[in-house]
Amino acid sequence: MQYPNIFKEGKIGNLKLKNRIVMPPMGTNLAGPEGEVTDQLLAYYEERAKGGTGLIIVEFTCIDYEYGKGFVRQLRLDDDRFIPGINALANSVHNYGAKVFVQIHHAGRQSNSLLIGGKQIVAPSRIACATVGEEPRELSTAEVKELVNKFVQTAIRCKQAGIDGVEVHAAHGYLINQFLSPEANFRTDEYGGSFRNRMRFIEEIIAGIKEKCGDDYPVTVRINVDDFTKGGIDLQLGKDICRYLEKLGVDGLHVSCGTYDSMDRIIESPLFEQGWRVYLAEEIKKDVTIPVITVGSIREPQFVENILAEGKADFVAIGRGLIADPEWVNKTMEGRETEIRKCINCLHCLHSVTGNAHILCSINARAGRELEFKEMKHLSSDEKRHVVIVGGGPGGMEAARNLSLKGYDVTLFEKGSQLGGQLHLVTDPTYKEKMTWHIQYLEHEMKRLKIDVRMNTEATVEEIKSIQPYAVFLATGGRPKLPQVEGHDLDHVYTYEEVKLQEKVFTNNKVTVVGSGMICHGTTRRLAEAGNEVTYVEIPTKASKRIGAETRLRLLNKLRSVNVNIITGHQVVKILSDRIIVEDLVSRKRTELETEFIVVAMGVEAYNPLEETVREQIENVFVLGDAAGYASLGDATRDAFEKAYFLESLVTDREEVVSI
């Protein structure tokens, strides 16, 4: 076997696991309005169990819905009436040979008053989380003891529901992390002050669980070994905490880092290298003998195998990688690594759940919708249907992939010399590698499914008609959007595409870049590194709205490191031959910036030259992705998947259906 360490049996406590891959807890918003298990939540976890995962740790589950809630639709187990739903979840995972833990959780000061019915949030001390911005009420000693009991009672319910073990959430800035952190705990009672007193809350929780559930019932702890905040837990203190937890009888440590005030260390942007925080688990592994789980942007099977072979951890958690591809484990075991749809860290899943939607994925349209798209309808053996797709970007290839899986003969026309469309325009080295993963996955699918891909071929209506297609999908993409101001059409104004594709090369020039988003930042940095004097005028775009505050700050700091002059909060008013005029959005003060060249990176607008003429001669025509006005990879993937999935219901030559 190519990956012997991944598929070696493992143990946490006395519990045997069939492999070393763990699905870590990740909030989904798939629970019901009262925090109950739903059919869709069951389908989501069942899909990952069916995909071969050894241990699934169910998303953070509330032990105190009155004050401890951390999500709009957070799973809960603070009452016996929720046991049947959790039992159904356990059964659905066990059906595929996987084991399942539940992560038990209280948000503390990282809740907010809107989530808990307008009440004041609670914490060890009256110190606000800067990101939340609400001052908490300090818990009384009696309340702390009652919370210990609530954690223990929730663990008892887990065992009653057939759950194999519990994970105590002591990381990511939530309540237990707050008790452990010198930055958040200024109590003067038995739960604050000294290291031992700060440990007392979690110590009593673990002791209570072990007493009530038995020493043989596995208990792991999700633990921060570095908060990455001033005055919080650092690696040395984290090691002290982990050694203490081992003495308390904890069966495993799930090593993590970051709080809401350092959110980009919890859920990493594309700018982070694969496995960047494995070193934290490696350090803890040196100090304890119980199993250690590592986590954090780990995507490739060989990378996982190396971690295990080198003894840096005992188990590896694949989080967003299992959202993107639930079959990650099975594909690895079967030698189908090139078929793995690797997560690209785009944060689409995070933005969906924090926007109060359920979990979604930019490259897996079924994520969070497994119940809706349970089975793919296949053509019958006597049906022979041909579909034409124009455009080899991610939307076009996703449509081709799914139509081929349904049994269609697919011909894809790509006018250029490479597949992938706009994904090739990302230039940040770390992010580009991840985008290249997705391009390679889709390209491999085109070959694996034997799709007729015609490169360097611009489709014509006559050529499309000659194939006599059942349907035509137009995925011709978009073209760069220009600011609609005077001077936008002057000769010294270029688009980001012209720069990235090397149609225009700048060296030692004074260049102004206008726009925002990942591609814009990459273009700006590339121009500065080429020796140009660069000014970046940040103009809000659709692409910029998909970048979180922490990621934006990191991007701006990258630009400052290469001496880019940054101007935010302005709009472009006018472009002249030797300067650009911008206006402050608040004061309306105008500034003239001298420049030799202007590069615009404000996103794309639909490019769809064929639709009108194709529709005149062919009935079933569908427009996808950027060509349909979408502006993100997630939208393009979803649009392509849905139209391919529902094609037979969308065509115009189906028999008329009469409602009765």
Q: Out of 174, 191, 408, 494, which one is annotated catalytic? A: 174
What whole-number distance in Å separates Cα of residue 619 and Cα of residue 612?
A: 11
> For the stretch 378-391, what's the b/e string if a residue is b when 16 or more beta carbons lie within 10 angstroms of its beta carbon?
eeeeeeebebbbbb
Q: Tell me the per-residue pLDDT of 482-517, one tens digit each, with 9 for 90 and over.
A: 888 999 999 999 998 888 776 778 889 999 999 988
Domain architecture of the chain: domains with CATH: 10-354 (3.20.20.70), 386-477+607-650 (3.40.50.720), 480-605 (3.50.50.60)
Tokens encoding 30: 């798939």
Bridge partners for 169 per DSSP = 222
Rounded (5°) CA angle 590-604-441: 140
| Structure confidence at residue 356 (pLDDT) | 82
Which residues does the chain have with pLDDT short of 70?
502, 652-660
Annotated active-site residue 174? The verdict is yes
Coil, strand or helix: which one is 390?
Answer: strand
CA angle (350 as vertex; 349, 356 as ends), nearest 5: 95
Of the candidates 601, 607, 387, the residue with the CA atom closest to the CA atom of residue 493: 601
CB-CB neighbours of 537 under 10 Å: 23
Predicted pLDDT at 652: 63
Residue type, 483: P
Six token digits for residue 475: 């995925």
Other Cβ atoms within 10 Å of 595 Cβ, number? 22
CB 316 within 8 A of CB 514: no
Percent of the chain with pLDDT over 90: 83
Q: Where are the alpha helices (DSSP H) in 161-277?
A: 175-180, 195-213, 235-247
Distance between CA atoms of residues 530 and 524, nearest Å? 10
User: Rounded to whole angstroms, how far apart are CA atoms 157 and 89?
Assistant: 13
CA distance 73 to 33: 6
What is the rounded distance in angstroms from the CA atom of residue 310 to the CA atom of residue 302?
12
Give pLDDT, residue 656. Answer: 46
Token readout for 36 is 């109950």
pLDDT given at position 653:
52
Check if the beta carbon of residue 582 is closer than 8 Å to that of residue 536. no
pLDDT digits (tens, 9 = 90+) for 226-279: 999 999 999 999 999 999 999 999 999 999 999 999 998 999 988 899 999 999
